[in-house]
Amino acid sequence: ATRTGGMMRASGDWGQLHSRYDSLLGANLNPDMPENRWMTLARCRIWAIFQGYSRELAKDCLQSFMFSYNNAGRWRFHVPTSEGKYYALDLTLMLASHSNQVRLSITRPGKNNNRERMLTDDTPVTLIIRPDVEDRSFHETVKAFTGPENDWPARIRPHDTGFDFFLSTGHTLTMDIGSPGRFVHEPEWQYMVHRPLEATRGLDPASDLFSPGYFSIECAGGHAVELTAQVINGRTPASNEWPSLAFESGFTMEQALVQALDAFLVDRGPDKSVIAGYPWFLDWGRDSLIYCRSLVELDRLDEAQAILHLFGRFERAGTLPNMICGEDAANIETSDAPLWFFACCRDMLETSGNTEFLGQDLEGRTLRQVLLDMARSMETGTPTGVHMDPETRLLFSPSHFTWMDTNFPAGSPRQGYPVEIQALWHNALIFLEMIDPGKGWHRKADQVRQAVETLFWNETSGYFSDCLQGDGPASRAVPDDALRPNQLLLITLGVIPPGGKARKTVETCLELLVPGGIRSLADRKLAVPLPVAHNGQLLNDPHHPYAGVYQGDEDTNRKPAYHNGTAWTWPFPVFCEAWAKVFGEDSHATCLSWLGSMKHLMRTGAAGFIPEILDGDFPHLPRGCDAQAWGVSEAARVVHKLSVRRT
């Protein structure tokens, strides 16, 4: 990923396209902030020709694949020739750090005495590299018959060593191989290229690809070929943007998680923001702020403060952006993003030991004033309908305003008083007492705690209700009996002490665990029904809404499953943190072992990263975004927290 939100998404089995989101260059065209990803260079198909025989570089001659957290990957191919000999080719693909540039280097390693079967260095091999290009937003597909078949060939401007392809956005994709290579202008289409992942999502799996021509160059042993592709977006590329070619190995899990964090942190003008997940998310409020807690835990306070500065400037009447797209921050339909903002600020205060950061200027208000304004607005009522119940001091949340935020259909509406909202609100009130003492904040926090223990606790089941459902006062709301992981924040944020109820809670939540994740709903029958309907059609069994597989059509299959049995990676470390809090330091090794089950997720999907979700049912296949910010950040935060306490 680039520091402005562009991405390189190349397949480990070189040249294959599994998803419409695969691309060697998904450019972010706004030089100042994440705005979109414009798919330009889908792939490069490569053939090596020796003695008139052509061999495509594909999985059947792929020897190894390595990746680097510095935006690079390396493929080694052993290409057989006659008489038992072979030659090796190393492909190294790199993405620039701050601009829309990729570089493909192809090296033919020289022969040495230990490799007698290798082709001699002075025998050249001809490389043919055919790029397939696109010109589309990353959620769309290309259909040649709709116009591109006639229009795109005229957009090519070829030259001796490359070409320019004029995009519909007004930008230009430029590719060049340099001398002594040459570019042969020979346009062709690949029709109905199948993307199998889209088929599992109930989306159109077929799209068309356009190739302006091919590059040709001879490569002897010990020599290298370099092909560059770039889309200029108004920012002049710097000379130091290319990553180091060191492909390190032997990381501990904590080291790998810390390295993985940087892929999501992006520049947004002078501030920082977080890409919620690759390949399709942009900046999300709650995701950025949950991620921010990891930066604080790792003592990266300047970066954390830059995120707080960004979101604090957007505060209006108790609201923060639910998501930001370019300069559009109008989506404020979230009850938890403002509360995670408080949680980050409390973490900052307790980590730094001083209150200086609260005095920073946020366009005319200090951060302290923003926090106080936000709390008072949430008490009296925000424009979005979030408000405090005057009797219990619990916080009301409209439907689909929490992280379980599917809508149309509302797969998990949770309108009323969700349990984690109360945990975060209590945490905010305790923090407000720290920075604004003597104003009654602590008394309100005590009322919230008492209401949680009185209204949410289900003694028979041994866990807390996930949500008090209803539109009115909390005392008349209906406590559901859904077993979900949200209640774990009551423990980690200190609402309930690590005693009997906390112990029962974490032991009951063991039922939700899968390797590397925690299910969003237990596979149990419910007394309080959860109907999910779309266009008047009931989609589930309201008294047994568990859905263990996340695939198929979005509205009728995936949304009903998204938070009703699908396992999530980001709350899994929260479970481990809660367990450690209940059972003490002697349990840290156990918790770290559980967290170690996430390693297998980092070895599949997006190499080195953690996916958004898994199927709740065995074999718990990864789904959704295959590189998710809060999955990585919460794992990094809790692994560090539990490890550092033992040293």
Q: What is the pLDDT of residues 146-162, one digit of tens each?
A: 999 999 999 999 999 99
Residue appearing with tokens 């049995």: 565
For strands 100-107 and 125-137, give the pairing.
unpaired
Mean pLDDT, rounded, for 44-63: 94
Is it the case that residue 113 has pLDDT exceeding 60? no
Strand runs (DSSP E) across 315-418, as ranges?
323-324, 361-362, 365-366, 387-388, 395-396, 416-418
Q: Which residue is it, tokens 């599949």?
A: 604
Query: What confidence score (pLDDT) does residue 246 get?
Result: 73
Q: How far is 270 from 32, CA to CA, in rounded Å?
A: 9
How many whole angstroms separate alpha carbon 514 and alpha carbon 594? 10
Are 35 and 5 in contact by the 8 Å Cβ rule? The answer is yes
Q: How confident is the model at residue 241 (pLDDT cuts 50, 70, 90)?
A: confident
The alpha carbon torsion through 604, 607, 609, 610 (nearest 10 deg) reads: -10
Q: Would you place residue 528 in the very low, low, confident or very high pLDDT band (cuts 50, 70, 90)? A: very high
What pLDDT is recorded for position 249? Answer: 80
H and E: helices and strands count for the chain: 16, 37
**% of the chain exceeding 70 in pLDDT:** 98
Structure tokens at 629: 């910010």
d(CA 446, CA 452): 10
CA torsion through residues 512, 518, 523, 528, sign:
positive
Distances (CA, A) of 572 to 71, 579, 623: 27, 11, 16
Q: For the chain, what is the mean pLDDT?
A: 94
Residue 123 token pair:
């025998």
pLDDT attached to residue 465: 98
- The Cα–Cα gap between 119 and 111 comes to 7
Amino acid 646: pLDDT: 44
Q: What per-residue confidence (pLDDT) applies to 411? A: 95
| Residue 636 one-letter amino acid | A
Mean pLDDT of all residues in 509-518: 98
CA distance 285 to 231: 29
What single letter denotes the amino acid at residue 248? Answer: E
Cα–Cα distance for residue pair 605/403, rounded to 1 Å: 23
Residue 128 has pLDDT above 70, yes or no: yes
For 586, phi then psi, to 5°, come to -65, -20
User: Is residue 115 very low, low, confident or very high in pLDDT (cuts 50, 70, 90)?
Assistant: low
Least confident of 232-236, 352-356, 594-598: 232-236
- pLDDT single digits (tens) 358-402: 999 999 999 999 999 999 999 999 999 999 999 999 999 999 999
pLDDT of residue 84: 82
As a whole number, mean pLDDT of residues 551-564 equals 96
Q: Determine the Cα–Cα distance for residues 68 and 249; give it in Å rounded to an integer.
A: 9
Return the closest-CA partner of residue 478 out of 487, 466, 488. 466
In our burial notation (b when 16+ CB lie closer than 10 A, e otherwise), range 141-178 reads: bbebeeebeeebeebbebeebbbbbebeeebbbbbbbe
State the pLDDT at residue 575. 98
Tell me if 563 sits within 8 A of 412, measured CB to CB. Answer: yes
612, 277 Cβ separation under 8 angstroms: yes
Closest residue by Cα to residue 362 from 417, 311, 301: 311
Sorted by sequence, the CB contacts under 8 Å of residue 75 that are 6+ apart come out as 14, 57, 62, 64, 65, 90, 91, 93
Instruction: Give, in order, the Cα–Cα distances in Å from 93 to each of 208, 215, 407, 563, 639.
Output: 24, 17, 39, 37, 31
Residue 647 has pLDDT above 70, yes or no: no
Residue 550 has pLDDT above 60, yes or no: yes
pLDDT band at residue 644, thresholds of 50, 70 and 90? confident
Bridge pairing between strands 72-80 and 283-284: unpaired
How much is the pLDDT for 645?
Answer: 53
Q: Which residues does 435 contact at the CB level (< 8 Å), separation at least 6?
A: 349, 355, 358, 368, 371
With helix as H, strand as E and coil as C, how does 542-571 read? CCCCCCCCCCCCHHHHHHHHHCCCCEECCH
In one letter, which amino acid is 209? L
Number of CB atoms found within 10 A of residue 501's CB: 19
Q: What is the sign, positive or negative, of the torsion defined by CA atoms of 400, 401, 404, 405?
A: positive
What is residue 442's predicted lDDT score, i.e. its pLDDT?
97
Could you give the angle at which helices 571-583 and 500-509 cross, rounded to 10 degrees? 140
What is the reported pLDDT for 545? 98
Which amino acid appears at position 601 of this protein? L
pLDDT the model gives residue 1: 79
In this prediction, residues 438-458 reach a mean pLDDT of 97
What is the band of 239 on the pLDDT scale with cuts at 50, 70, 90? low
Q: Does the pLDDT of residue 444 top 80, yes or no?
A: yes
Radius of gyration of the chain (CA): 27
Record the tokens describing residue 296, joined without a space: 């604080």
The two three-digit tokens of residue 291, written as one number: 């991620």
Report d(CA 260, CA 297) in Å as an integer. Answer: 15
Q: Which of 179, 217, 245, 228 is nearest to 48 (CA)?
A: 217
Q: Which among 642, 644, 637 has a CA at the least distance from the CA of 296?
A: 637
The pLDDT value recorded for residue 376 is: 98
Choose the weakest-confidence range: 23-37, 506-520, 607-621.
Answer: 23-37
